[in-house]
Structure formats: C-alpha cells, structure tokens
Structure 1
Amino acid sequence: MGTPRLTAEPLRWLGAPAPGGLALPAARPNRVQLYAPRGVYVDDRAVVVADTGNHRILIWHGWPETDHQPADVVVGHADFEAEGPGLLHLPTGVAVVEGRLFVADAWHHRILIWDALPEKNGQPPDRVLGQPDLDSTEPNRGAEAGPLGFYWPYGFAYVNGWFYVADTGNRRVLGWRGLPDGHGPPDLVLGQPDMYSHAENRGRGVGADTFRWPHAVVGDGATLYVADAGNHRVLGFTPPPDADRPADLLLGQEGFDRAFELPHIPQGPRRLRFPYSAALCGEHLAVADTANNRVLLFPGPPREGMYPAATGVIGQSNFDDSGENRWQAVRRDTLCWPYGLWCHKNLLAVADSGNNRVLVWRLALS
C-alpha cells in the first residue's frame, strides 16, 4: 500500500471578498479587511491573525461561521479603522500558549505577551521578551547581538516544553527550557557558535548548521523544524537539539551546501523558494512554499534524510506550476504568497498574504 494522500478543501475565507479576476481584495483597515497578513493561529475557541500590513492583531472569539466575518477584537490600535505602526510594527508570528497570547512584533525587535486572550480593543500587553521594557524597540536592545536581544524575530514556537524564537536578523534560533520570563538568557543557540555571533551562514557559506533567514519554527517531541527561508529550505533536527549541531533533515535542496533558487521553471514536488513557514498536520508536514504560491504536504512527517518529495499540494493544480493565483483569478482554492501556517485538528489555516486574506482548509486523507 502507498502513502495516504492528504487532500484539502477550502472551508473559510477571512478578509474582504475579491472583486474579480486578479484584482486583490480591499485592504483598508476595518473589522473585515486584512492587508498582507503573515501569521495565523486557530484553536477550538478563537482565530488570531497578524494583520501585518495594518500593524495590528485581529481576534475572532469562537469559530467564524461565515466567510468575510468581522473580527471581534483588535489589538495594536484603539479601533478597527486606525492604521500605521503604533504599538506594533509588522507583527508576524502569533500563537496562544498556555492561555497567553504571544505576538512576534518583528520590526520592534521583541515578542509581546498578553496574559490572557484580549477581550477589549487596544488592550495593552503585559510583558515583553527581547527588550528591557515595553517602551524599548531598538534592535538587539540598542547594542550588538547578545543573548537577551532580538533583531527581526519573525517567528516562535512552544515545542515539547521548549520555547524557540526565530531571531531572523541575527541568523539564529534561540531556545529556552520552559516559557522565558524576559530576564534569563536562552539555554540554546542554533546556527551560530555563540550568543554574540550573527553572521549570515556563519560567515563561511551555507551548511547543515547555518541559517540565512530562519523565519519560523515548528516541531514535536521527535523533530524540530526550522524554515530557513533565505536558503530556500527547511531543516529538521531529530531529536530536537539541546546544543548547537548540524541538521538531520533537508527539504528543498539537494545538498546541505546548496541554496539553489530558480524561478519560472517547473518546480516539482521537492523544490522550495522562500519557505516562510511550516506546520505539523498529523502525519504530514505542511510547508509554505511562499514564492511558488503553494503549500506542500510532506508525508511521515519526514525526520531524517535529504530532498524528499511532497505528496500533496495546495494552491496549484499540479507540482510544476507556481503562478500567483494560477495567473487566472483570486479564487477560494488559489494562493498568492502564502506566508504563515497553523494546523489544528483537521484544519490548516493559511495567511495568504498576497491576497490580503486568511484561508482555512479542511484536510482529509484519501
């Protein structure tokens, strides 16, 4: 018997409707419209979206029952019509961890934490990681790279008792045993020889232990996956590391020393171009193959090895095509620069950033 194929059916569309053809949904901030969302979180009680281009977080309490349903709460601004950087500047990763809302406030070089999912518009955060206080926003706390500061932290994850931050601008992943309090140094650095180095690919070229743009982290007790977008690959560490070491799994490239990217050719089921996110969906790893305008589904999920093939694709009708919205129209089953992913039970939420929307797909084995 072959590996069961994971299929996807579009279930819900959050954001404004598309006017037709390749015209994008409207993006002016209000309770419905999104502008280039880059992060999404879904559970049984809420949907949370990083409405990145509008520098805010939108929250739906309860499952949205209709397409284009208005959000219930906005944070980052006092009301739904405000725009521009304020509390938040290009927020990206979002998740609820042990009842707390975490937001990667990337261009303020910090992660903000609300002790409970906000119920009121404009609710301020309760604590911060990566800065000495809630008023500070300088890269690396206004100094050189070190153990307590961030430079463009685009993603984070809480995996098997560890809290990881994709510290993208410092070309590293930091890890803490347990949820950090903002004061203690991390217990782990991946991608650099120490807590003070920050060179791209360690300053010596792409390898099994280097990053260019580590952008998102996901995993379980068996494997830690890092979407290394700038090197057009995903690295897997099996088992999850407790010290810096080379990866055991490589997706998207034929060798650990490769960072190949060539647009406008048939892409196939193995190649990745700027994979900005990943999510574990049962026995599959979903990867946002962002510049190829698709999500690839790898069975297993893969733990070790090099250059495995995906068995499912979302957003394209086959593995060779890569056009934005298939160069046809903004439809329920097309994608344009899918950015953030989140899996919950049989649901896969996609921050379809180029289409100013979030799509939720129902997954099924066939």
Structure 2
Amino acid sequence: ENASDSATEPAVPLVRATRIFEGPADSPFLAPRGVFLAGGQLMVADTAQNRVFLWRELPDSALQPPDVVLGQPARAETGRNAGGKASASSLFYPSGIWSDGERLIIADAWNHRVLIWLAMPTRDGQPADVVVGQPDFAGNEPNVKGIGSPPSARSLNWPYGVFSDGQQLWIADTGNRRVLHYK
C-alpha cells in the first residue's frame, strides 16, 4: 500500500476501550513496571513489592486475585527475596517480562539476573529452572563479583528488560549500559 492510499483510509485506533487492573484487593500493586500478555495469560511485575502476578485469563475485575504469584510464598507477601536470600523462588525488583504462553522470562533487576521458567508456573513461589547473569540461584552481586567489577558476557548489572523470539534472548543490561543477545 502506498502513502496516498493510506491517507484516505480512516485510522484504526490502537486503543478502543480501557480496562483497569489493580491487583488483588488485599494486596494491590504498589509499583508495577512490567506487563506482558501471551496466550491469553496476563503477567504483571509488581516491582516494588518483589513479585510477579500471573492470570491464566484476563481478569474480569480491577481487583481480581492472580492465579499464581512468583517471588513470594503467597500473594500478600512482599519482602525482598521473600524475606531471605536470593534463591530460585525469590525476586528483588522484577521488571521486564517475556512469555510465549508456554515459557516465562523475568528480569530480576536488583538480583542482577534473569530467571527462566521452561514451563509456565502453576503454583505460588514456583522456582525458576534457569538463571542468567549469576553462577547459581544464590548469587546476586552486580557483575557476579560486586560493585565496581567489570562486566563479562555472563554477568549482569540491573537488567530491566528482556525479549525473546522463542529461540534467542535479548537482555537490557541497564547498569552496564549494554544489550546482550544470546543465540
């Protein structure tokens, strides 16, 4: 289609209606920073409360509880790393989210890592299967060795964004001022 044809066509709005989601009534969002929809499932990173909410279907109401909460043992919990140390089940300032409806990737910014679930989580606090940016699930220092350490291809410092095409992974490694591409 050329420019002259599109100028005569009426514009189709990107947004036609508004739906508002606030998280569950007993523990609403504090500072959501990441949102993703895949396979009809809604995922929201409630960043300041160190958790990610998953709904298997779009919520019907603004305060509908999620089906699954990640990063905490229960949806009302909000502690950094679930009140303990970094683990496969904990989050500390999650931000970016990507999913294809079958797998899930979360940028766990202040743990300086990206977590990957090879199958969509089905229960609260479900541990991740893969960690990127740290040698294991317990590590959470910037660039693995701490503040001031130089970055490597295997380290992260405040990753805030993730994207995948299902085969490759891109990470916005904010603290290192770079984007990493894994094939």
TM-score, normalised to structure 1, is: 0.42
For these two proteins, the number of residue pairs brought into alignment is 165
Measured in 1, the distance between the counterparts of 2:31 and 2:12 equals: 27
- Report the equivalent of 1:63: 58
SS of the aligned residue for 1:107 comes to helix
Distance 2:69 2:101 in 1: 21
Note if 1:123 corresponds to 2:126.
Answer: yes
- Choose which of 111, 115, 140 in structure 1 pairs with 2:114: 111
Q: Which runs of 5 or more residues in structure 1 are unaligned?
A: 17-26, 178-366
Q: Which residue of 2 aligns with 1:175?
A: 181
Q: Which residue of 2 aligns with 1:153?
A: 159
Instruction: Among all aligned residue pairs of Structure 1 and Structure 2, give the percentage whose two residues are the same amino acid.
Output: 38
Q: Is 1:99 the counterpart of 2:102 in the alignment?
A: yes
Partner of 1:164: 170
The answer to which structure has the higher strand fraction is 1
Change in Cα spacing, 1:163 to 1:12, as seen in structure 2 (3 Å) is same
Q: RCO higher in 1 or 2 (8 Å CA, sep ≥ 6)?
A: 1
Task: Please name the residue that 1:249 is paired with.
Answer: none
SS in 1 for 2:80: coil
Match of 1:353 in 2: none
Q: Whose radius of gyration is greater, 1 or 2?
A: 1
Distance apart, 1:162 and its partner CA: 3.0
Mapped contact 1:56–1:91 kept (Cα < 8 A): yes
Task: Write the distance in 1 (CA, Å) between the matches of 2:93 and 2:26.
Answer: 14
Pairwise CA distance, 1:80:
1.3
For 1:53, what is the secondary structure of its paired residue?
helix
The 1:4/1:107 distance shift into structure 2, 3 A limit, reads: farther
Correspondent of 1:34 among 13, 29, 32: 29
The 5-angstrom pairing of residues 11-50 of structure 1 reads 11-15=18-22, 30=27, 33-50=28-45
Q: Any residues of structure 2 matched to 1:1-366 within 5 Å, and which?
A: 1=5, 2=7, 5-7=11-13, 8-15=15-22, 30=27, 33-86=28-81, 87-97=90-100, 99-142=102-145, 143-159=149-165, 161-177=167-183
Gaps of 5+ in 2: 82-89
Q: Once the 2 structures are TM-superposed, how far is the Cα of residue 54 of structure 1 from its aligned partner?
A: 0.7
Shift >4 Å, 4+ stretches: none
Deviation at 1:9, TM superposition (A): 2.3
Name the SS of the counterpart of 2:31 in structure 1: coil
Q: Distance in 2 between matches of 1:154 and 1:172?
A: 11
The Cα of 1:4 is off from its aligned counterpart by 5.0
The one-letter code of the counterpart of 2:70 is: V
Under a length normalisation based on structure 2, what TM-score does the superposition of the two structures give?
A: 0.82
CA 1:135–1:28: 2 relative to 1, 3 Å: farther
Q: Is the 2:163–2:170 Cα contact (8 Å) retained in structure 1?
A: yes
Aligned-residue CA RMSD in angstroms?
2.1
Cα shift readout 1:156-176 (whole Å, capped 9, x = no counterpart): 111384321111111111112
